[in-house]
Amino acid sequence: MVKSPVNKKMLVLILTAFLVFLTGCAIRDGVDAVGNDINIIDRVAFTVFGRNIYWYAICIITGIALAYFYGLHIAKKTGFKEEDLIDGFIIGVIVGIIGARLYYVAFAWNEGGYAQDPLRIITGFVNEEGGLAIHGAVLFVAVFVYFYWRKRRFNFYILGEMLAPGFMIGQIVGRWGNFFNQEAHGGPISTSLVEGRAYLEKLLLPDFIIDQMLISDSSYYAAIDSPTRYYMHPTFLYESFWNFIGLLIILITRRYWKRYWVGDAVLFYMVWYGVGRIFVESLRTDYLPLNIFGLELRVAQVVSVLMIIAGVVLYILRRVFKVHPISYLDTLEANK
């Protein structure tokens, strides 16, 4: 087996670079409408040859990199061929981004203006308009993994132990891109700035997070003391923390529970993320709508319900019919 390039120095280097960028980013300072000192981090980290490099992109890339190193670590411990992981990872990331974009466009076809100008599917993405949805990435990557498995015939279940936690790692870090962009947030905590800030302080959040949650829906660059700014629910943080707890559950459970089977991480992810996303989506203001028989639903909640049902049903069927009943601990022991 090729020696894994994973080491602690690489992980420390990535995290250190992220923190260096964070400490050197531009700040807009001022006071809010009730006199609190506010420091809002600019969403542009730096500029290269006239092209803005956004914190959102840095967070996404950092999350992907950490997921990649995690995957290599698990591959080494389980005997999974690293070349299969590396080849699949490169293509999978591309497929995931395309899927996230197409999914978003499909459900924002009219509201986003794509029906009138289909080229914006590409040009809008390139021109920094954004528009990605994690459910699209999950769906497209799942389809890709199936066909990739048919070609390479690797251990599908071991891949699941890299893929599901990898998605969680990517989302834990990637959601902070929404923090810098002041997007994908919830509604106003209160119409009172005093009450809104007090709520966030009760969550023991540091000032830099609380300040960044002072948001105006009218304009990203609205004056800090604008009366249209309110303290919003930090849904990015809720989701990031929820995924962090889920990741810990996977790592701890499979380390100590003999009845944890290889591949269970995927089913757990489907249920865990689905439950968390239903709650978070109920708070968000930028949800994608889905009209069914005159009833407006939220796309992410509908898909999350389907994920939960599928995850529970597949888990039960797997136990009943004993589909690949191999303990994760036994897999590690066999590859020592």
Q: Is residue 57 part of a domain?
A: yes
Domain membership flag for residue 328: yes
Indicate whether 97 belongs to any domain.
no
In a domain, 218, yes or no: yes
Cα end-to-end distance, the chain, whole Å: 13
* Contact in structure between 234 and 215 (CB atoms under 8 Å): no
Mean pLDDT check: name the lowest of 18-32, 125-139, 317-331: 18-32
d(CA 104, CA 130): 10
Angle at 302 between CA 301 and CA 305, to 5 degrees: 85
143 within some domain:
no
User: Among 29, 45, 52, which Cα is nearest to 212's?
Assistant: 29
Is there a domain that residue 108 lies in?
no
In sequence order, what DSSP letters do the residues of 227-265 get, joined into one string? TTEEEBP-HHHHHHHHHHHHHHHHHHHHHH-TTPBTTHH
In a domain, 66, yes or no: yes
**What pLDDT is attached to residue 18?**
56
Instruction: Give the separation between CA 189 and CA 167, rounded to whole angstroms.
Output: 29
Within a domain: 89 = no
Q: 25-34, 263-272, 324-333: lowest mean pLDDT where? A: 25-34
Average pLDDT of the chain is 90
**pLDDT tens digits for 163-198?**
999 999 999 999 999 999 999 999 999 999 999 999
Q: Give the C-alpha distances (Å, rounded to integers) separating 311 from 164, 206, 306, 316, 317.
A: 12, 36, 8, 9, 10
The predicted model scores a pTM of 0.91
Structural domains in the chain (count): 1
Output phi, psi for 273, to 5 deg: -65, -35
Q: Cα–Cα distance between 159 and 155 in angstroms, integer?
A: 6
Which residue segment(s) compose the domain that 292 sits in? 8-80+155-334
Place of tokens 């602690």: 8
71, 85 Cβ separation under 8 angstroms: yes
Helical segments of the chain, H only: 8-23, 55-78, 82-107, 120-126, 134-152, 156-174, 176-181, 193-202, 207-212, 235-256, 264-283, 299-321, 328-334
Name the nearest CA neighbour of 316 among 258, 277, 264, 251: 264
Beta pairing partners, 46: 53
27 sits in which H/E element: strand 27-31
| Helix H or strand E encompassing 44 | strand 44-48
Q: What average pLDDT does this structure show over 196-212?
A: 97
- Please give the structure tokens belonging to residue 142: 């799942």
The residue type found at 20 is V
Amino acid at 96: G
Q: Is the pLDDT of residue 332 over 80?
A: yes
- Please write the tens of the pLDDT for every residue from 272-330: 999 999 999 999 999 999 988 888 999 999 999 999 999 999 999 999 999 999 999 99
Residue matched to tokens 């993405």: 125
Q: Name the nearest CA neighbour of 184 among 24, 313, 59, 37.
A: 59
What pLDDT, on a 0 to 100 scale, did the predictor assign at position 17?
59
Under 8 Å between Cβ of 154 and 94: no
